[in-house]
Amino acid sequence: MSKQAVLDSLDANRQANFDRLLEFLRFETISAQSQHRGDMQACADWLVRLFTTAGVLARAGNDDARTTVLVYGHYDVQPVGDEKLWQSPPFEPTIRDGRIVARGAADDKGQIFTHVVATLAWINAARTLPVRVIFLIEGEEEIGSPNLGTFVQRHADELACDYVVLSDTAKLDADTPALTVSTRGLLYKQLTIAGPSKDLHSGLYGGAVGNPLNTLAKILASLVDKKGRVTIPGFYDNVQTPDVHQREALARIAPNDDNMANALGCPALAGEEGYTTIERIGVRPSLDVNGIIGGYTGEGSSTIIPARASAKVSMRLVEGQQPDAISQAFDKAVAAACPPSVRLSIETSAACEAYATRADTPGAQAALAAMAAAYDAQPALLYEGATLPILPLFRRVLRADSLMMGYCMRDCNAHSPNEFFHVSDFEAGCRASALFLAELADRVR
Amino acid sequence: MSKQAVLDSLDANRQANFDRLLEFLRFETISAQSQHRGDMQACADWLVRLFTTAGVLARAGNDDARTTVLVYGHYDVQPVGDEKLWQSPPFEPTIRDGRIVARGAADDKGQIFTHVVATLAWINAARTLPVRVIFLIEGEEEIGSPNLGTFVQRHADELACDYVVLSDTAKLDADTPALTVSTRGLLYKQLTIAGPSKDLHSGLYGGAVGNPLNTLAKILASLVDKKGRVTIPGFYDNVQTPDVHQREALARIAPNDDNMANALGCPALAGEEGYTTIERIGVRPSLDVNGIIGGYTGEGSSTIIPARASAKVSMRLVEGQQPDAISQAFDKAVAAACPPSVRLSIETSAACEAYATRADTPGAQAALAAMAAAYDAQPALLYEGATLPILPLFRRVLRADSLMMGYCMRDCNAHSPNEFFHVSDFEAGCRASALFLAELADRVR
């Protein structure tokens, strides 16, 4: 293996690699906005050209190697939001204080590009790849990957791999790269409560008619008890209480509660009794009301009993919780809490299971070793509270574990104005991604 | 007394009185819309001219009589709403199926005009009035009478009276005029719950941060128990349970629950355990959530913990409940139900006590006798669920009870398109209003 040659090549081509990243960032690949369809296609073409110019196809590598890694990422980005809040135009990448500021700088163009650069460096400098590498870079992640599941299922044979690697998560802090070992699942529900056929005068009928808003409040309040535990029967049935080792691991990455509350602007944090903040986010399920609307919500007052009320409720699920079973239990609990004076309807708009992997697999060890060498720092293990629906998909269809190597800062303004990625993280990420391929080849044969 | 001469005069001048009503209805007196300021003034001038042409001032009557009645009403009307829903233009009164259809036909131009016509008939036909009559017809009722309190206080001496009479309530049914003997009070609150300083990602923080919407649901749910009773400490302290006689009286005017549920489009009625529908509306207090808004309420789903949530909540109060005391108890109960992880603020936007009078006062007996004779039917006693803030005002400042003589149908579309007043009710109302003055003179000396 010529690891050093590859690292030297990365060093020698710093400016070229960096310029190429900026080129990547200039494409206005906002998947949610149809006027950018042309930009999406141009960016996809540009990526394909990058690989073919280097003399490879997007599926590249040492055909003799039996070990295969699938690099997943996305070239689409979030809408820019209020452009006035950006200090520089979102699609004109600008360097400020060592940061590349642009929409997609971290999520996910900048991070996926470390793997692109690393793979091309292997091909250019070593004329080989330590393992077979397949790139799967989609343009629909920010709109929920509506076609990815079908695509992966249809091309399961071509996409067969030992591990999936992705860089769409963050570091622990400025100095510490991280391997994310779990993500929570998601179950999203929309409730509608219908009462009288039109809004009623609360004087003429108040006290004698089931009020959809009072009822909605009752139902929602019944779902979480005073101790912050979800009351849906069976909700915790297969949820493991974290053991001593896991709690210790979580404690090492725990934020300071007071600092976190201050940063978020909350008077205090709150959650399930008996668990720390990091445990509540990382390994415990939760239930949040995401929206409620009903009745008169304008200025001043209006004395009505509303005809209807609706709410959006989501649950983050952890390992062991089956979305289908929880979904049914939720519907049953809500129906049981609903009195006969109103009509209830429930819709499920998302259901995705949690994902958890171990840090002692050969793949995880390879990722940790690569990040440790590239950053000269012990990487952290992160338990992610958010949901990555692709991970259960890859495990189910490809039977492959996913390795989430995080290079960007947590507060990188993903989805917000002034998104950024440190130049030094881009370079360390390129090194880590390059070393990972060698480390993986060493461990998986 | 020349009662019969007055009734004969009403008969002889049917068409003229009716035409005058239509003239009154043509003024576009929408107090909520400033472009109608000219119409408001024109209508007020027209009313004043009506009295002065008849040779009286708006304070008219037999100066020797010691008994005085203050006739209260309003010449302003609700906005017309969607004009397309009107079968004829709202300010071009049209007769259809024996109904005068126009904005204000019932609420309140048509009903107050019965007292105007009756008083002028006494003056014209009998050259005297059985009692002194003061007219107080305002133009701001539909916008909450912002100046009436001050006006009544400033002119308390001039407005001194034995009874207030008003016709701004309804009959029981087509054949049965009614005297309304109570109205509920109103306490209106606006709650705001603030959590994090901006919306948070429910994946990254769900389970560890106080969610304003979950909290709001908990607080609102805690205010009413499973038996439909308000849980605010002290809420029922001075509330009288209806006695056998009152329950019998209420049962006589009770709707059929199934019919009412069907008419309203509710699967079933609901309310405080141990009370009938008519009791729940007429003599029991209630608490309704009138509006909630918070978080993401658009199409599809968004996984946020909202920065804030707010609700509008109103209580209908009954005799014995002091709005100030209930208001303080409400604030205390809500604060006690609110955890330290969010910030709570409460605003009071209305506070008005209930009003109740007796049916055996000389004034009530006069009103009942007058309606019985005019309609040739036994009048009903009604317990109104809605709120008329002027009644406690008149009682407090003028120390006078109010007599609510109702001539219009309950389903007269007040505040809705195609508001109407039966021609026959206008005529019977004029007779009842005329007879009332004589009946009152007979009973109060």
Interface probe for B, chosen from A182, A189, A214 (most Cβ of B below 10 Å), is: A214
pLDDT-derived band at B58, boundaries 50, 70, 90: very low
Output the DSSP codes for A8-30: HHHHHTHHHHHHHHHHHHHS--B
Alpha helices in B145-276 (DSSP H): 148-154, 156-159, 202-205, 212-222, 244-252, 257-264
Min Cα separation B53/chain A (Å)? 40
Backbone angles phi, psi at A144, to 5 degrees: 90, 15
B68 to B91, B151, B400, B424: CA distances (angstroms) = 34, 19, 10, 28
- Smallest CA-to-CA distance from A402 within A71, A136, A75 is with A71
pLDDT the model gives residue B64: 63
Distance CA A440, CA B70 (A): 95
| B202, B277, B302 member nearest A208 (Cβ) | B277
Which residue has 């204000």 as its token pair?
B104
Burial A42-62 (b: 16+ CB within 10 A, else e): ebbeebeebbeeeebebbbbb
Half-sphere exposure of B211 toward its Cβ, with a 13 Å CA cutoff?
A: 34
Identify the band that residue B301 occupies on the pLDDT scale cut at 50, 70 and 90.
Answer: confident
List beta partners, residue A315: A187, A287
Give the C-alpha separation, B198 to B60, whole Å: 63
- Cβ of B291 and A294 within 8 Å? yes
Residue A325 C-alpha, separation from nearest chain B C-alpha, in angstroms: 20
Helical H segments across B195-341, by residue range? 202-205, 212-222, 244-252, 257-264, 277-282, 323-337
Nearest-neighbour CA in chain B from A418: distance (Å): 16
What ipTM goes with this model? 0.91
Q: How confident is the model at residue B143 (pLDDT cuts 50, 70, 90)?
A: confident
Residue contact B264–A197, C-beta within 8 A: yes
- B chain contacts of residue A340, beta-carbon cutoff 8 Å: 267-268, 270
pLDDT tens column, B73-107 = 999 999 998 899 999 999 999 999 999 999 999 99
Q: How far apart are CA B279 and CA B173, in angstroms?
A: 18
Q: For residues A304 and A209, give the distance between their C-alpha atoms in angstroms, rounded to a whole number.
A: 11
Taking an 8 Å cut-off on Cβ atoms, the answer to whether B281 and A350 are in contact is no
Query: Who among A195, A270, A296 is closest to B209 (CB)?
Result: A270
| Residues of chain A scoring pLDDT < 50 | 57-58
The neighbouring-strand residues paired with A362 are: none
Tokens of B292: 């909630």
Report in angstroms the alpha-carbon separations of A158 from A69, A119, A438, B227.
Answer: 12, 19, 22, 63
Judge if the upstream peptide bond of residue A108 is cis by omega within 30 degrees of 0.
yes
Give the other-Cβ count within 10 Å of A162's Cβ: 20
CB distance B202–A306 less than 8 Å?
no
How many CB pairs below 8 Å do chains A and B form together? Answer: 289
Q: Which two tokens stand for residue B183?
A: 């109205």
Residue B413 has pLDDT above 60, yes or no: yes
* Distance in angstroms between the alpha carbons of the first and the last residue of chain B: 14
Minimal Cβ distance to A295: which of B197, B284, B289: B289
Q: Is residue B61 predicted with pLDDT exceeding 60?
A: no
Q: Which residues of B touch A306 (CB under 8 A)?
A: 290-291
In angstroms, the CA A429 to CA B4 distance is: 103
Question: Using a CB-CB distance cutoff of 8 angstroms, which residues of chain A are in contact with residue B386?
Answer: 201, 203-204
Pair type for strands A68-74 and A163-166: parallel
Give the model confidence (pLDDT) of B222-246 as tens digits.
999 999 999 999 999 999 999 999 9
The answer to whether A308 touches A195, Cβ cutoff 8 Å, is yes
Nearest to B60 by CA among B160, B136, B132: B132
Predicted local confidence at residue B65, as pLDDT? 64
- Please, which residues have CB within 8 angstroms of residue B38's CB and are 6 or more apart in sequence? none
How far apart are the C-alpha atoms of B215 and A183, rounded to whole Å?
A: 26
pLDDT in tens, B153-168: 999 999 999 999 999 9
Judge: B184–A196 Cβ closer than 8 Å, yes or no: no
CB atoms within 10 A of CB B66: 11
Across the interface, do A288 and B305 touch by the CB < 8 Å criterion?
Answer: yes
pLDDT at B191: 98
Cβ-based contacts of B311 with chain A (< 8 Å): 213
- State how far residue A367 is from chain B, nearest Cα, in angstroms: 23
Cβ-defined contact of A266 to B309 (cutoff 8 Å): no
CB A71 within 8 A of CB A136: yes
